[in-house]
């Protein structure tokens, strides 16, 4: 198998990440690939031209954006089939992450064309990495729907989401988003990452109410915003004695298996079944005395 570090090869689609702000955030390999491919498919050819000019790269470009991707995809695919090497770039960060790219990568994958990632910045990973919120598991939602009903459902679904949530939002709507989240999910911890890697980079950390208060004082919110929301806390078990009493009564009134009982109690209290089962098992083996 070819090594992904080989020089650009014929008939290959390279998915190349570019800076999200700071122009030096581009990898050596990205520059090498961009300089060597036959064509760069760019979301905005003028914006990409600035980046390429800075690095003395004169590779031909074609536009590939949300308004022409349906038409352009078969054309690019045909060039790849005929042996061209193409680099796909978006305006910022990683193509396909809330940016055009998926249509082309899925068509290329279907056609058996080799696709090579050239990884680099993405606002989601940058924001998460510096947020101070748990990074072990996370959910990336991109931009929430602009349709109010669907948006409400997307937010409601986060009520039981235990992982850190990453959302992209425009500065114009960031205050409304924070208000919607607080209203539906309570005053969770959150982080607003604004203008990362740029001159006015800012991380606001605190409860949603504190973020809102900090933004309310501002006449205008500018720049690019990524919002991170702490996951929901796992619901805690009812006091041990209360649970013990409930388990004892249930077992005495109607002999049942422990898993069955745990399922019923977990449902009644909205608790994880595993945790209730473990508690019940412990209580049963300890033979906690009755209070009757
Ligand atoms: N493909 C990009 C990536 O990999 O991150 C995302 C493109 S999406 C159209 C642009 C959104 O990403 C912005 O509206 C903002 O939510 C987020 N974003 C991009 N650059 C950012 C930055 N420097 N600071 C904070 N958020 C940023």
Q: Report pLDDT digits (tens) over 15-73.
A: 999 999 999 999 999 999 999 999 999 999 999 999 999 999 999 999 999 999 999 99
Residues of the chain short of pLDDT 50, as ranges, are 1-2, 288-292
What is 166-193 written as a DSSP string? EEEE-TTTHHHHHHHHHHHH-S-EEEEE
Residue of 123, 127, 173, 197 with the most ligand 1 atoms within 8 Å of its CB, for mutation: 123
Atom from ligand 1 closest to the CA of residue 143: 16
In angstroms, the CA 28 to CA 34 distance is 10
Please measure the distance between the N-terminal and C-terminal CA atoms of the chain and give it in whole angstroms: 73
The pTM assigned to this predicted structure is 0.81
How close is the Cα of 184 to the center of ligand 1, in Å?
25
Q: What is the pLDDT of residue 292?
A: 42
Contact between 91 and 44 under an 8 Å Cβ cutoff? The reply is: yes
Q: What is the pLDDT of residue 1?
A: 39
How close is the Cα of 20 to the center of ligand 1, in Å?
7
How close is the Cα of 137 to the center of ligand 1, in Å?
20
């Amino acid at each position: 198998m070819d090594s992904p570090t080989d020089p650009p090869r014929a008939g290959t689609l390279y998915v190349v990440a570019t800076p999200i702000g700071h122009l030096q955030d581009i990898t050596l390999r990205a520059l090498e690939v961009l300089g060597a491919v036959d064509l760069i498919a760019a979301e905005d050819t003028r914006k990409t031209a600035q980046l390429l000019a800075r690095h003395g790269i004169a590779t031909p470009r074609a536009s590939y954006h949300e308004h022409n991707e349906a038409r352009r995809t078969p054309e690019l695919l045909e060039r790849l089939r005929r042996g061209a090497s193409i680099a796909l770039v978006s305006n910022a960060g990683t193509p396909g992450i809330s940016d055009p790219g998926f249509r082309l990568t899925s068509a290329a994958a279907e056609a058996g064309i080799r696709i090579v990632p050239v990884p680099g910045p993405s606002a989601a990973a940058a924001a998460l990495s510096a947020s101070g919120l748990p990074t072990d598991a996370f959910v990336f939602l991109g931009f929430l729907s602009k349709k109010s009903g669907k948006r409400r459902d997307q937010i409601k679904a986060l009520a039981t989401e235990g992982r850190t949530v990453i959302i992209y939002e425009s500065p114009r709507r960031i205050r409304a988003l924070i208000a919607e989240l607080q209203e539906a999910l309570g005053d969770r911890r959150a982080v607003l990452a604004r203008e990362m890697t740029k001159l006015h980079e800012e991380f606001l950390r605190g409860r949603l109410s504190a973020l809102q208060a900090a933004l309310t004082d501002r006449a205008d919110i500018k720049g690019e915003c990524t919002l991170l929301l702490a996951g929901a806390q796992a619901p805690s078990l009812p006091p041990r004695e209360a649970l013990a009493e409930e388990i004892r009564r249930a077992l005495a009134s109607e002999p049942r298996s422990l898993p069955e009982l745990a399922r019923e109690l977990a449902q009644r209290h909205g608790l994880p079944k595993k945790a209730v089962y473990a508690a019940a098992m412990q209580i049963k083996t300890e033979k906690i005395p009755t209070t009757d």
